[in-house]
Amino acid sequence: MIFPRWLFVFAVTAPLVSASGCEATSTPQSPAVPPQPFARHAVVSPNAARGDLLYVSAGTAVNVYSWRSFTQVATLTGFSSADGMCVDGAQNVWIVDGQLRYAFEYAHGGSTAIKSLAVPGGWPDACAVDPTTGNLAVVVAYAPGSRFHDKKGGVEIYPGASAPPTEYQARGIFFYDQAGYDASGDLFVNGVQSAGKVTRLAELPAGSTILEPIKLNVTLPVPSGGVQWDGKYLALGDGGGTIYRFVVSGRNATKVGATMLAHVAHPFAFFIAKLGNARVVVAADQNDLDVSEWRYPAGGQPLRSISINYPGGVVISRGRK
């Protein structure tokens, strides 16, 4: 049986400063400062750092690979629960740590964190960066309370990737999963209403203060999956090996295509990137314990794979040309 990612996390004890309804609210409360240093590391070679790099989170570490050769060039360690990741316009990589409740920023090919942000709302699960403003969105899967999974999660927006954040919540979503911005700065977030339910989608339009529900015209059968703007469509993963493409108009999302990924059991995250004149998608598979690459949007058989224990988030950071 396949479970969405929020069933694998462990409760922590700090309370949530939650929003009422769907309006934004300030969340000044901060978790404890994480231990120093933020991450020990194996140094990335200068030649490798100049190239395109694939980052894969795996619990207490983040593995760094040359995207060209699919060979490992570094390991960032010292995390408690590294999970989702995202890349900003400077190709810096943000890594969220659920147990520490922090987001850490690394320069492309960097070996130590250059910035850290506390996540006051709860267990951070994923992130996204607004290409128009540089705002950082951190997805809070759920907020711990007196009982495990007993308080609603949300999305924390850090203006200019700086504290303090503002929290947003949407009607119809209790457990939040992943997020992605489109080219105009509209934020899309997926999640589920409760355990075992189908995927829900919400949008925070650029300049808005309300995270609004979006109606999907199809049912995504397996909750939990990635969210990314592919340059033309909104791509949503269903957690079962298919990436659906949607056109969003108003409060409705209409399916226009699907990419089926062969030999993948449960992709928790994916990342679409341009490779020469073509596009590919890289996805992490926690069931088969590997990270693979496919043509996008063709899908089908993987082009290549890397074996890795319990991969989580995946992102590609482009190097200097």
For residue 263, the model assigns a pLDDT of 84
Q: Answer for the pair 133, 185: CB distance below 8 angstroms, yes or no.
A: yes
For residue 224, the model assigns a pLDDT of 67
* Pick from 231, 244, 171, 225: nearest CA to 203: 171
* Domain assignment of residue 91, yes or no: yes
pLDDT digits (tens, 9 = 90+) for 156-173: 999 999 999 999 999 989
What's the pTM? 0.87
Query: Sign of the CA dihedral 148, 59, 78, 227?
Result: negative
* Number of domains present in the structure of the chain: 1
* Domain assignment of residue 187, yes or no: yes
* Domain assignment of residue 255, yes or no: yes
Task: With a cut of 80, say whether residue 214 has pLDDT above it.
Answer: yes
For residue 34, the model assigns a pLDDT of 53
* Domain assignment of residue 12, yes or no: no
pLDDT digits (tens, 9 = 90+) for 94-140: 999 999 999 999 999 998 899 999 998 888 999 999 999 999 999 99
Task: With a cut of 60, say whether residue 38 has pLDDT above it.
Answer: no
Q: Answer for the pair 78, 37: CB distance below 8 angstroms, yes or no.
A: yes
For residue 152, the model assigns a pLDDT of 85
pLDDT-derived band of residue 199, with 50, 70 and 90 as boundaries? Answer: confident
* Domain assignment of residue 90, yes or no: yes
* Domain assignment of residue 216, yes or no: yes
* Domain assignment of residue 18, yes or no: no
Round the average pLDDT of the chain to a whole number and report it: 84
pLDDT digits (tens, 9 = 90+) for 216-239: 999 887 666 799 999 999 999 987
pLDDT digits (tens, 9 = 90+) for 50-96: 799 999 999 899 999 999 999 999 999 889 999 999 999 999 999 99
* Pick from 204, 195, 201: nearest CA to 220: 201
Q: Does residue 15 or residue 228 have the better pLDDT?
A: 228
pLDDT-derived band of residue 276, with 50, 70 and 90 as boundaries? Answer: confident
* Pick from 74, 65, 76, 105: nearest CA to 89: 105
Task: With a cut of 60, say whether residue 14 has pLDDT above it.
Answer: no
Phi and psi based region of residue 249 (left: phi greater than 0; alpha: psi -120 to 50; beta: remaining): beta
For residue 223, the model assigns a pLDDT of 65
DSSP single-letter state for residue 85 = E
How far is the C-alpha of 86 from the C-alpha of 178, rounded, in Å? 11
Domain containing 248 equals 38-317
pLDDT-derived band of residue 3, with 50, 70 and 90 as boundaries? Answer: very low
pLDDT-derived band of residue 260, with 50, 70 and 90 as boundaries? Answer: very high
* Domain assignment of residue 48, yes or no: yes
**CATH code at position 143:** 2.120.10.30
